[in-house]
Amino acid sequence: MASMPMKLVYLNIAIFLLLRIVGVICFFIGYDPMIFLHWIELPSSIETLIHMPWTLLTYMVAHYDVLHILFNMLVLYWFGTMFLDFFTPKHFVGLYILGGLGGGILYLLAYMLPTLTHTHTWLIGASASVMAIVIGIAVKAPHYKINLLFLGPISLKWIAIAYVIIDILSITGNNMGGHIAHLGGAITGAVFTILINKGIDITHPINWAIDQLINIYESIENASLKNKIKNNKQSKNTTNASSHCKQQSSGTISQEDEVALDIILDKIKKSGYASLTEEEKRRLFQVSKNK
Catalytic residue among 63, 91, 179, 182: 182
Catalytic residue among 63, 91, 127, 244: 127
Inter-residue contact 129 to 60 (CB < 8 Å): yes
Q: Within 13 Å of residue 191, how many CA atoms lie on the same side as its CB? A: 12
Catalytic: 182? yes
Catalytic: 51? no
Catalytic residues: 127, 182
